[in-house]
Structure 1
Amino acid sequence: MTKWVVVTDLDGTLLDHHSYSWQAAKPALERLAAMQVPVVLNSSKTRAEIRELREQLALSWPFIAENGAILDWGDGHFEGFAEPRQQLLTVLGQLRQQGFAFEGFADWDLATIVEKTGLDAHSAKLASEREFTEPLLWLGDDPGKWAFQQALAGHQLQAQQGGRFLSVMGQYSKGAAIAALRERYPGATIIALGDSPNDAPMLDVADIAVVIKSARSEQLMPKAPSTIRTTSPGPEGWNQAIQDILNHRS
Structure 2
Amino acid sequence: MAKLEYKDLLDAGVHFGHLKSKWNPKMAPYIFMEKNGIHVIDLNKTLASLDEASHALRNIARSGRKIMFVATKKQAKGIVAENAKNLKMPFVTERWLGGMLTNFATIRKSLKKMSGIDKMMKEEAYLNLAKRERLMITREREKLERVLGGISDLTRLPAALFVVDIKREHIAIKEAQKLNIPVFALVDTNSDPTLVDYAIPANDDAYKSVELLMGHIASVIEEGLMERKKDKEDSKMKEEENKKRAADKGEKVKEGASDKE
Q: TM-score scaled to structure 1, two decimals?
A: 0.33
Q: Relative contact order (C-alpha < 8 Å, sep 6+): which is higher?
A: 2
Higher-strand-fraction structure: 1
- Name the larger-Rg structure: 2
